[in-house]
Chain A
Amino acid sequence: MKLLLKSIVAGLLMFGCTPGLFGQSAAEISRKSTEVIDLGSTQMDFTIYIRDNKGSERVRQLTMISGVFNGVGKTLVRFTAPSDVQGTTLLIYDNKDKEDDMWIYMPALKKVRRIISSERGKSFMGSEFTNADMSKPNQAVFNYSLLGTTVYDGKECWMVQSEGRDQTISKAYGYSKSVSYIDKNSYLSYKVEYYDLSGNLHRILTSLDYKNVTKTTFFSYRTVMENVQNKRVSEMVVNKVETGTKPGEELFSPNALQ
């Protein structure tokens, strides 16, 4: 699990090595997409609004700090609201060649606890986002294909499909396939459709309000995940972003969570 919002545009990363029909291979698109959203070291405050089909709303607020150290992406997520989870802190090491390492500090328990990282398909904080949505997917376990091009929201986009290489992968990530809509000019992902394990459309991720982080990198300040099956909608809004100052590695030590 890595950069929370960065990975909301997870569709960007899900392109494989199959040469495309439109001049570029999925691998090239993937690489460029990664570069476009690579934030490096970041601190951001954001809010998740969770709305059910009856219109009631729940609100979660978080602060996230991330950095890359010796090739390992490290992310610290601190919950700031509601107050009963205030102070709860999650630390994630996003390992490239193995499963993530995760620790949690809960103020009520007064200790740091190692937790299992296999729950990728589970809901993130009770929202329509899953833990898998928050992670950079391991490209090696997906098959990719370019479905064609389409115009989405006035932008000409590639439609890129990714499928888990086997049922275990699909179950772990919580979807059988996804289709991403990638702007051919900017390489930004504006929409991702997720299909459930039965092959039915399940969730739609829409990325809005892309803003420059640096001259060459962007990310979405507002992402919306709609569950078309139960009509729940979750919205993640970035309130504040700080980049450029690299936090010390000691901040990402499990011992420093308390």
Chain B
Amino acid sequence: MKRIILFSILICTVLQAQAQWNGNTDFNIHGYGRGSVYGGSKAYDLTSVFAELSLQASVKKGPAILESDIRFSTGMFFNEKDTRFRIRELYAGYKSRKVDVFLGNQIVIWGRTDGFNPTNNISPNDYFFLSSDPADQQQSNFMLKMQYRPLPGVDLELVAIPFYKMSSYRFDLFDMGELGNYLLFVDDMLPERILANGTYAVRVNFEYPAFGGSVSWFQGYDPYHGFNVVSVNWASSQPVIRIASVPYRKTAIGADLAVPVGNYMIVRAEASYSHTKNPENKMFIPNPDLSYVVGIETNVLDFIIIGQYIGKFTFDYSPLSVPAPPKDSNPAALIQYTEKYIDYENRLFNRKVFNQQERTNHAVSLTITRSFAYDVLSAECTAYYNFTSKEWLLRPKLNWRISDALMAAVGGHYMKGGEKTLYGYSSAIMNGAFAELKVIF
């Protein structure tokens, strides 16, 4: 109730403020209200059903800028009733022709390839916020962002994030078979809130007619975190394995480029080397790796086609060995074996999360989009196949702009993977169809 009151006050204040701003100030407010249904999975008839109001306001007075995107939603998420008041973005700052300085909750997306961006390490995602638009999963974090444009076509971007915010996976929803009976997901283990644990990133970006590219450096905790076995409790007749989300620190050096080939194709590529230190062989820290994506975009018969290869090379890779069961039934040996097995399974799971199941990982993606009837209808379909893990995904979607103020979207999400694969686990929750009706204002 408090949230509703707060949100109502906010709307009133904003609307009142809009009326009071004088002519020198550019005040803009817009947003949308929508109803969204996502369901049909094996685990849930209706996985995610919610109504949402988004209020996006901006104020510009000379070089001073305030931007906000505030969302209020209520509904059922994975069979749990929830009402959320979310500040998706809220930041203030200074913007001139050469320099921008922004402070507040922001979303930063880096990388020139599509959907798979090895250089994009800054903003977390809520991967289990299910709706028709994957961009809904982006989350902001409090940061200082500065941009300097010394020359046309060149810019230097600096990002400093004092406090870490991790992505959300909700693996606690997975049906992990017999092992799941023993698992207990406990509170996230966040790094201490000191500046030494902050995240810092720099990017030099070039954009010219002949090519665009960037070189970036990142140091900090990766929002895409791992899992650790916090403890194994043997007090009861069966073990209780306490699992926590645990972030790890890394240094990443990345680069990307986009090169037009004539007027019919754009070649895009992106790569990043991630360096991690793991002297104690912690399971939640991935090995150093090199991730790379190469793609082309072209237009055939009004279809925009984007094809990509997505690869990864894992350094210092060594396969995991399944622990051998004890030869005798000595209880101490059995416990030792079980602990080794728990360690093995969870290391394996982390490797799946990090796509480090093999030394090299190969996947491809294909996205096809087309507009019809003067952009009133637009259809898109994305397919993904991982040759290494044999997982695949298909996501068709149709958008219908019924009028300038009313839009509808329908589609589906289908993923499939073998037993004990991430897609195998996720499919029981995330497979299904979605529909959305949105009024924009």
Q: Which residues of A contact B (CB under 8 A)?
A: 50, 56, 58-59, 82-84, 86, 93, 95, 99-101, 103, 108-119, 122-123, 125-127, 232, 248-256
Contacts and interface: CB of A to CB of B under 8 A. Distances in A.
A254 B264 CA distance: 20
Nearest to B268: A114
Interface stretch (B14-22, B179-187, B255-263, B423-431): B255-263
B374 A253 contact: no
B440 A250 contact: no
A39 B421 CA distance: 61
A126 B264 CA distance: 22
A173 to B, nearest CB: 13
A97 to B, nearest CB: 12
B441 to A, nearest CB: 6
22 contacts: A83-B30, A83-B32, A99-B262, A103-B207, A108-B133, A108-B135, A109-B109, A110-B109, A110-B138, A111-B109, A111-B110, A111-B112, A114-B258, A114-B260, A116-B260, A116-B266, A116-B304, A122-B302, A250-B98, A253-B207, A255-B152, A256-B149
B299 A254 contact: no
A249 B98 CA distance: 12
Interface in B246-273: 258, 260, 262-266
Contact of A114 (B111, B212, B304, B404): B212
Nearest to B114: A113
Contacts of B149: 250, 253, 255-256
A62 B440 CA distance: 18
A110 B376 CA distance: 24
B154 interface: yes
B109 A254 contact: no
Given A103-B207, A114-B260, 9 more contacts: A82-B404, A83-B441, A84-B407, A86-B30, A108-B135, A111-B110, A114-B212, A117-B263, A248-B97
A39 B108 CA distance: 38
Interface string B107-144: 11111100000000000000000000101001000000
B264 A84 contact: no
A230 B108 CA distance: 44
Contacts of B108: 110
Interface of B: 28, 30-32, 97-98, 107-112, 133, 135, 138, 149, 152-155, 205, 207, 209, 212, 258, 260, 262-266, 297-299, 302, 304, 374-376, 403-405, 407, 440-441
B265 A116 contact: yes
A59 B440 CA distance: 14
Contact of A116 (B28, B154, B297, B441): B297
Contact of A56 (B212, B265, B403): B403
Contact of B263 (A109, A116, A254): A116
Contacts of B297: 116
Contacts of B375: 123, 125-126
Nearest to A86: B30
A110 B265 contact: no
Contacts of B138: 110
Contact of A59 (B112, B264, B404): B404
Contacts of B298: 116
Contacts of A110: 107-109, 138
Contact of B299 (A100, A112, A118, A232): A118
Contact of A254 (B28, B133, B212): B212
Given A95-B209, A112-B207, A254 B153 contact: yes
A253 B152 contact: yes
